[in-house]
Structure 1
Amino acid sequence: MSTSSTAAQIEKALVQGKWDSSLSDAPNNLIAVAKQVVDGDFRAILTSSFARTLFNPSTADFDRSLGEIFDFSKELDEDPITGELYRLFVAVACLHAYVQANWTGPDLNVTPLEVIPLEAPESVTEQALDAKAISELAYGGEPAYHLAKYPAFLRFSQLILDVPFTHLQTPVWWKLRATLLHQRTLDDPVAFTPDYEGALDSLETLYSDDHNLSGRLYLERGLLQHLFDQNRNALEYFVKAARATGMEYELSGALGKRTKFQVDEKSQLVLLAESHLEDDEEYNAKEEDEQASQFDDTASVSTAAEPKMPETLALNDDTLLEQTEFTSSRPTDTNTSRLSHIDPSKQPALHPLDQSILLSLCLNVKNTMPAHGLTNEQMAPYVARVITHPRNWSVHTMALLLRARLESQRTRTVERSAFQLQALVDQMPTADSTLRERLVYFHSILLPSKWEMERELALRYMSLGVIKSALEIFERLEMWEDVVQCYVSLSQAGKGLAIVRDLLEGRKEEADSVLARGKDGYAQRRATRDVAREAKLWCLLGDLEPEMAPERYQKAWTVSKESSGRAMRSLGGYYFAHNQYAEAVDCLKRAVKLNPLMPRPWFILGCACMRLEDWEGAANAFSRCVAIDEEDGESWSNLASMYLRLDEGAVKKAQNVDGDDTGAETETEDDDDKIAVAAVPFSNKLRAYRALKQGLKFGYENWRMWYNYMIVSMDVGELSEACRALGRVVEETVEKVGASAVDEDVLERLVDAVTRAPLDIEEAKKEGGDQYDVNSPNEGHGLYRNVLDLFERILLPRVSAPRVFKAYGRLMKWQNKWEDALKAYLDAYRCSDAATMEKGEQDVAKWREAVSEVEDVVGVLQNFGPRVDGFGKYKWKPQARSIVRAFMARTKDSFEDEPEWDRLVELQEELKKAEEE
């Protein structure tokens, strides 16, 4: 076997975390070393001769950065492929050593200082090496967690993987994994665009025929997008991963029971799923069944066959069942289901990789669904499907963690949720499963680190009101923001403020281990303290002291050497809140330059630019904002507003930032933020229309967006959309503002657009071509259906206004529905000033308008009355006379001397003569 083919097999084994038994011995003991990496014997790798060669410092000056101290580009073998493999072995060993120390356990048996062969100066200690690594791991103004164990291993792995690999294919994949671990080591992930995405695309093509590797790669790329809150991109990768592995899955329903005393069967949500990957060699369900059938003591065989899994706590509730008891062997929708052959209560075991994909899809459901009960109900079947068949220690741990999160919201399950979380924290340092089993699918899930798991437990305690227990955990983890929050909850905010001040002024040690060394050790620790974390403390102090906030944030900016994005975000937000918009723009521009993929700073920047009437700057900010979060409905609305304030050239210039029509969040501080579109280029109106249409997908309840959409739709000729928007505005606001919820001008324009077309479709085609065709949604008969629905379903049941009834009457007149038209005009008169004017009214102008309304309704009766079947010439005349007589009786005392009174008298005489005829 050639070195290149052997290298390809070794690379696959490393990526999968499973040894390929088909590999044979190779020169230089290459295979044996590779197997040590897969098996997790990191001490043997990191203390080997080639590792010592790699870690031999190139300088004795340990005050430099780790990248300058070590030259990781050294040749490790005469054969370049073998040399690159050895370098990759060391990188993977360092990366997984860091994972073992901080995620999976058990305790690591090698330290970073042990892998450096030369005797270092006395100043180089484990603590100093860790502090240097923590400082270098800080990114985008976010500090790395300062109590992470052996962070130098992660930094070493990064530096080794940054060295170009010319003969191997997978170093870029390991670079992706190192990035994921780096982001999870930061206090908060810092979104960025990796410079190796093109290489990952090539890797996808290379492994497209390998279902396992292809699925893993798609899944891990999706997890990175998930960390960056790019939920749409993450979902695409998760779905690609499922397709790559061949897994079939679908949410369905099946009859079953959820409680112990339930009598009637109800349809229960269930996730049907089936794997098509080959089973791992560590666990094969079919083999287990075969073995069990050969022995009487099946329990002992099952225990021996199954790897030990994390403890799954029982619910022990007096009402709820441990899990849904399905009474049907088929899903409800068997006609359309591809998986109708699966019994919901006896589903086949899934491959661990497919289980990981389901858990990732579950994460995506949590991110994309609104915060209501449906979210938990939709996530639960994903988790239950994985928990049913434990296959891998890490995957099962993740499933139990997700279930604990879901159950924390329900009264009957909150107790198990807390206990299960505590059990997961306690299992980390144990050796109840092999390291290889814990690592094999580690990169395919987002298993929290030890400190994240403990923090989550502390937050759970806080939600249950156990504040002091949470405080103890936060103080031990040195998560000072959470410590301060605990003291605020205990009404002791002063203590939290004192802690932050003591940390900054050197009166308080951060770690018990440092405190044990005495006060003399603090000076050195403070001198080497990570500047990003110190800057974060200054920002926290600014949050706690609002009167001194600008000085604190500026100090954080200075301490971080102008690298703290949080400092500029906080300072910009402060200036914006205090109406100092120019200063806010300056700060926020610095913040978005440091971290351009955070939507909130772009949003505030856009709003500040709006206040300064810098429309181009605002359009640029809003474009970036929706480019990051496409589902931000109000951001699209603000972008539309900017389009209507810019000329066409400025719009194109703003769009060039991202190459498409995008935007940011709406400034919702003013209630009267309705768009005016007087002298705006049509191209800009069209862009605004598209932006609002996109935004309404995610801001369906925002009536202001619907109002703006209605106005812009009218201007661009999308009358059917304007009709829909008017209906939504009325539905959302009519209970608060009544009849004023209807934009009567828009309504009348809609009716005009319908009624100007001939009633007869064939005649319309002859006169105007196809523009009045029934298929046109914005004119004539095509628009009529929408306008009629608007009246009958939304307006008439909710609104009583003269112009609304008259508009409906005109629509009915166009349809020759004379009875409906007459009724509409009479309804309009009944709620008009003429019908509601009381005796003693003194407003002459109002009375004169009322006279015109009386004359109008009489005219309608004269024209429509004879056309209505059963109404006839003898019925409309008395009604017309009654209207005139009643109006004259109410207003005679006040307005009998007015000139218009004679018109009423003449009208009354005319109706009297007509009735006598």
Structure 2
Amino acid sequence: MGVDDNFMEESSWETGLALWQSPPEAIGFQWEFVREVVEGRFSEALRRLKHKVVERILEGSVSSFEEDGDELEHCFLASVVLLRMFQRDNICGPSLTEDELAGLEANTRFEPKDDELDVDGEIFGRSVRHTNLLLAIRRVLVENERKLSQRFWSATLWSARAGRTHQDVLTGPSPTLKSEVQGAYTSALKSSETRKNPILGGLVHIEMALASNSFLDSSTNEKHLKFAMDTLHTKIELSGALGVRTKWQKEAKANLVAQVLQEGEEIERNLSIPTQCKRPRNIPLEDTDVLGFTKLSTDQKPDNERTTPTVMDHFLLSAKAESVAANLPSGQLTTEEIRPYLNRVLDGCEESTPPLVLGKVLLFRTRGELGKGRYAERSMKQVEELVDYYKQGNPIDDCGRLIGLEASGYPAMWKLQKEFAILLGTIGLVKAASEIFEGLGLWDEVIDCQRLMGNEQRARVLIEKRLDEEGERPWLLAAMGEVTRDEKWYVKAWEVSKGRYAKAMRLLGRLLISKNENQRAVSALEDALKINFLYPDAWFLLAHAAQKCGDIEKYASSLTTAVQLDGSNAEAWNNLGSAQLQLGKPQAAVTALQQAAKLRRESWRVWENLLLASIAANAVRQMIQAMDALQEIRGREGVSAEGISAAIVEIERLGESGEDDDGRQTADLARRLLNVLGRASALVSTEPAVWNAYARLHELGGDHGMVLENRKKEMRSVLARASQNYASDLQLFEIVARAAMNLGYSAIREGSEDAKLSALLQVNSIVTASETNFADTDYFRDLKKVADQLSATEDS
């Protein structure tokens, strides 16, 4: 199982081990060892090492290894093999054979304590097997990383992979493991070996990107995906192509497609997958209408597009799909953006496709098809196929599954089984789903299933039975709290865990909010978040409770953390904008609400909040954007007189500055506002603010004729709204007087006799009607002056 001979001949055995590749001919102890493990012969590889070294690792006694000599090397090599054995047994399959287990169990002298692998209140999946291996691996590769890295450059890489595997079998993200894993990957990327080998460098960047996704770190994910593409001289981008999705579709429609483009000099060397390694089956869609894929009708491609993606291209495509899924809100638009990356892998599925990448892509496709009736049968069969794939094959023929395991992002088997159970639940097979959840020890999901079946009491019986058998475990006590809705169980779970089981406090906080005990909820949630802050939903709940308590500072800071962890939560962004506005930070509110609007473009409430914040911040461009969206969504109800007035004031201010940049900006903003006014006038022809804004925009352009026309419309609109009531209502009179004065001055500037006469008649009629009640007001006196000026200019 090798890449080209020169590639491995020029590389160190550590590079071969890191890439899980070996040359056709292995010369020397290390290369022979690499070849054995890469070919799946783990037991043989371990027997090649010193028996006492392996025994001491499995006993958990590693502190006494010498820093030089064979012992340290054998310790390092044995730990890598044990890590791959644990991964094969719990992630990709096939499970460890009896012979492999016999060799391990003969040497194992310890079992980890129940909470020894728990981190930051996150517990490992109850169905994870051979946890003693993971603990032994951690004691060597993670706890002794510094000692090992002084001699082996790849020690930091394997330390990162061990930490990543630990995270993969936990129930949630761990801040401690985030720091550990990202730190180790950063060190590995600084190695000269990683820098000089583009395949290795690209692979490690992809691993770092996917690991960062596990820890809700979207910025690091995007950064290292870009680094990976740069390192591999590859660019992946979306384009358009015509195609059909149904069997009877005659006219091809535009579809998104993913293109793999060569950027710069091509990297000839690449990873290879053993030809005998089987891949999971792609279940076809059996439907009379829908194809189940996109059949493109055009074959036009850029000159630098790769016809056949390489192994590394497949890793990049899968990682890109995961990045989109992690950083955008779930929904049909996100599914459509992910689809092109999946299609590119599935279209080019051949010997260059890593088995686990194909499995991950098929899993992504299934997630996108959830809830769609015609896809239900395929979805169920596809996930069932992936679960069965784990059990199929043998360690030798299917050793290629481990190539790029960390770069595939393939889930642990218990998480895949969880997805299968969720799928069964969505199609109505709730009992079957509940049985799988019970086997996995996922009690929250068991409770949900039993509630759906109207049999919540059975969930309580099951949990009580487990408590009798296993004793007071925090997760079981918290599950009792979920069944009984009694807070004492959450408190007990917290106490039994010695204040480490953060989930108990998160659940208690949610219960207290439902009881409107918000101050206590704040305390419970803060206790949980001190242990593990990587839960955006808990920050959102904390923000809600803080707002109810009147603590706006905490409300805003909690929402800030929530959106930093999960930038796809539109409601959190919207609430953050509202909080910033309450704190007197309108520009920060605009920034937050723009993010909310990107994620929830159809929500008029978000756009209305953005308009209010923009007015407060004098952000005219955002005012216009919000008004345009509101009119499109709400029609006549979306026309905002306040927004139009604020926008024109700000445009006038920019126009008066005299700066060249402001002048260009004024012209652009005026054009955009005219578009908004055009739609507004068509929707509500009697809104005075629309005609007032039109007139003022034309004033900026010096078109006095158009100014006068719009002042006339403004006057008619004001009178239509005020009727005859302005003669007795001071507030209405002031509005009418302002419009009449605007009309009079516009007529004087326009200069024609007809315009001045018409304006004079209008002003005089208002003067006559209002003189009895408002003759002693400033507005009346100013209006009388305008009438006098009109008379004077007409006489002259």
Scaled by the length of structure 2, what TM-score is found? Answer: 0.83
Report the secondary structure of 1:208's partner residue.
helix
After superposition, the Cα gap between the structure-2 partners of 1:477 and 1:708, relative to the gap in structure 1 and judged at 3 Å, is same
Once residues 555 and 477 of structure 1 are traced to their aligned partners in structure 2, the CA distance between those partners, rounded to angstroms, is: 23
> Of 178, 186, 203, which aligns to 1:201?
186
Shift of 1:91: 0.8
Which amino acid is the alignment partner of residue 378 of structure 2? R
Which of residues 419, 436, 444 is equivalent to 1:481? 444
Distance change (3 Å), C-alpha of 1:480 and 1:119 = closer
Distance 2:517 2:555 in 1: 16
Partner-residue secondary structure (3-state), 1:240: helix
Does residue 416 of structure 1 match 2:378? Answer: yes
What is the deviation of 1:742? 2.2
Q: 1:39 to 1:565 in 2, by over 3 A?
A: same
Q: 1:85 to 1:277 in 2, by over 3 A?
A: farther
Instruction: Note the alpha carbon deviations across 1:781-826, whole angstroms, 9 max, x for none.
Output: 6765555555445577447444554454344445443443333333
- What corresponds to 2:4 in structure 1? none
| Higher RCO by CA contacts (8 Å cutoff, separation 6 or greater) | 2
Q: Answer whether contact 1:359 1:383 (CA < 8 A) is retained.
A: yes
| Inter-partner Cα distance in structure 1 for 2:732 and 2:49 | 104
Q: Whole-Å Cα distance in 2 between the matches of residues 148 and 712 of structure 1?
A: 55
Structure 1 distance, partners of 2:335, 2:288, is 22
Q: Is the 8 A contact 1:47 1:115 kept in 2?
A: no
- Cα RMSD of the aligned pairs, angstroms, is 4.3
SS in 1 for 2:339: helix
Residues of 2 paired with 1:736 and 1:570: CA distance?
A: 44
3-state DSSP of counterpart to 1:136: coil
1:443 paired to 2:406 = yes
Q: Contact 2:329–2:599 at 8 Å: present in 1 too?
A: no
Q: Is the 8 A contact 1:571 1:587 kept in 2?
A: yes
Partner of 1:184: 168
- Identity, % of aligned pairs? 22
* Cα deviation digits, residues 155-203 of structure 1 (max 9, x gap): 1111111222121111211111111211111122324432464553343
8 A Cα contact 2:95 2:390, kept in partner? no
One-letter identity of the residue aligned with 1:472: E
- Deviations 1:706-732 (Å, cap 9, x if unpaired)? 145324423xxxx54464366368548
Would the alpha carbon gap of residues 830 and 321 (structure 1) be closer, same or farther in structure 2, given more than 3 Å must change?
same
Determine helix, strand or coil for the equivalent of 1:596: coil
Query: Cα distance, 1:618 vs. partner?
Result: 5.3
Which secondary structure does the structure 2 equivalent of 1:80 belong to?
A: coil
- Asked whether 1:571 is paired with 2:508, we answer yes
Question: Match of 1:302?
Answer: none
| Contact 1:641–1:688 (Cα < 8 Å) also in 2 | yes
Which residue does 2:495 correspond to in 1?
Answer: 558
Per the alignment, residue 322 of structure 2 pairs with 363
Distance 1:581 1:477, change over 3 A: closer
C-alpha distance in 1 between matches for 2:418 and 2:69:
44
1:394 counterpart = 2:381: no
Q: Where in structure 2 are the equivalents of 1:181-330 lying within 5 Å?
A: 181-192=165-176, 193-195=178-180, 197-205=182-190, 206=192, 207-273=194-260, 276-278=267-269, 280=271, 282=273, 307-321=277-291, 323-330=293-300
> Does the 8 A contact of 1:225 with 1:231 survive in 2?
yes
Confirm or deny that 1:383 pairs with 2:363: no
Counterpart Cα distance in 2 of 1:274 and 1:725: 35
- AA of the residue aligned to 1:167: R
Tell me what 2:304 maps to.
339
Instruction: Tell me the secondary structure at the aligned position of residue 237 of structure 2.
Output: strand
Higher deviation after alignment, 597-606 or 146-155 = 597-606
1:104 maps to 2:92: yes
Task: Give the Cα separation in 1 of the matches to 2:183 and 2:737.
Answer: 77
Structure 1 counterpart of 2:139: 159
Distance 2:600 2:245 in 1: 35
Query: Does the aligned pair in 2 maintain the 1:640–1:687 contact within 8 Å?
Result: yes
Contact 1:829 1:853 in 2 (8 A): no
d(CA) in 2 for partners of 1:699, 1:551: 39
Change (3 A) 1:250 1:616: closer
**How many angstroms does 1:150 deviate by?**
1.1
| SS at 2:115 equivalent | helix
| Aligned equivalent of 2:429 | 466
Q: Distance in 2 between matches of 1:185 and 1:442?
A: 14
| The structure with more radius of gyration | 1
- Alpha-carbon distance in 2 for matches of 1:578, 1:174: 48
**Distance change >3 Å, CA 855–CA 626, structure 1 → 2:** closer
> What is the CA–CA distance in structure 2 between the aligned matches of 1:782 and 1:385, rounded to whole Å?
41
Number of equivalent positions: 766
Name the CA distance, whole Å, in 2 between partners of 1:138 and 1:100: 21
Where do 5+ consecutive residues of structure 1 fail to align?
58-65, 284-304, 332-336, 507-521, 644-673, 678-683, 758-770, 889-894
Aligned equivalents of 1:265, 1:807: Cα separation in 2: 45
Query: 1:893-912 to 2 correspondence within 5 Å?
Result: none
Q: Deviations over 1:829-848 (max 9, x none)?
A: 3333676436xx7x9741x5
Question: Matches of 1:803 and 1:787 in 2, distance apart?
Answer: 12
CA distance in 2, matches of 1:100, 1:92: 12
SS at match of 2:12: helix
Structure 1 residues 698 and 256 mapped into 2: Cα distance closer, same or farther (>3 Å)?
closer
Q: Secondary structure at the match of 1:314?
A: coil
8 Å CA contact 1:706–1:729 kept in 2: the answer is: no
Distance 1:182 1:675, change over 3 A: same
Task: Return the alpha-carbon distance in structure 1 between the equivalents of residues 428 and 500 of structure 2.
Answer: 37
Q: Which runs of 5+ in 2 are unaligned?
A: 1-7
Q: The residue matched to 1:160 in structure 2 has which SS?
A: helix
Question: Residue 482 of structure 2 corresponds to which residue in structure 1?
Answer: 543
Shift of 1:88: 1.3
Within 2, Cα distance between the matches of 1:356 and 1:779? 45
1:199-225 alpha-carbon deviations (Å, 9 max, x no partner):
533432321121221111111111111
Q: 2:758 — aligned with what? A: 876
Alpha-carbon deviation of 1:281? Answer: 5.4
Quick one: which of 715, 718, 723 aligns to 1:829?
Answer: 715
Q: Which residue of 1 aligns with 2:62?
A: 72
User: Against the structure 1 CA distance between its residues 725 and 425, is the aligned structure 2 distance closer, same or farther, given a 3 Å change threshold?
Assistant: closer
Report the TM-score, using the length of structure 1 for normalisation.
0.73
Residue 290 of structure 1 corresponds to: none
Residue by residue over 1:281-308, the C-alpha shift from the partner in whole angstroms, topping out at 9 and shown as x without a partner, is 555xxxxxxxxxxxxxxxxxxxxx6643
Q: Rate the CA distance shift 1:745–1:543 in 2: closer, same or farther, 3 A.
A: farther
Query: Which residue of structure 1 aligns with residue 521 of structure 2?
Result: 584
Deviation at 1:355, TM superposition (A): 1.0
Larger helix share, 1 or 2 = 2
**Counterpart Cα distance in 2 of 1:187 and 1:247:** 35
Go from structure 1 to structure 2 and tell me whether the alpha carbon gap of 1:564 and 1:418 turns closer, same or farther (over 3 Å shift). Answer: same
Distance 2:567 2:641 in 1: 30
Contact 1:805–1:827 (8 Å) recurs in 2: yes
- 2-structure distance, mates of 1:856, 1:720: 24
Contact persistence 1:255–1:327 (CA under 8 A): yes
**Deviating more after overlay: 241-250 vs 218-227:** 241-250
State the distance in 1 between where 2:361 and 2:660 align.
55
Structure 1 residues 899, 590: closer, same or farther in 2, change over 3 A?
A: closer
**2:18 corresponds to 1:15:** yes
Q: CA deviation at 1:144?
A: 0.8
Q: Post-superposition shift, 1:458?
A: 1.7
Q: Which residue of 2 aligns with 1:596?
A: 533
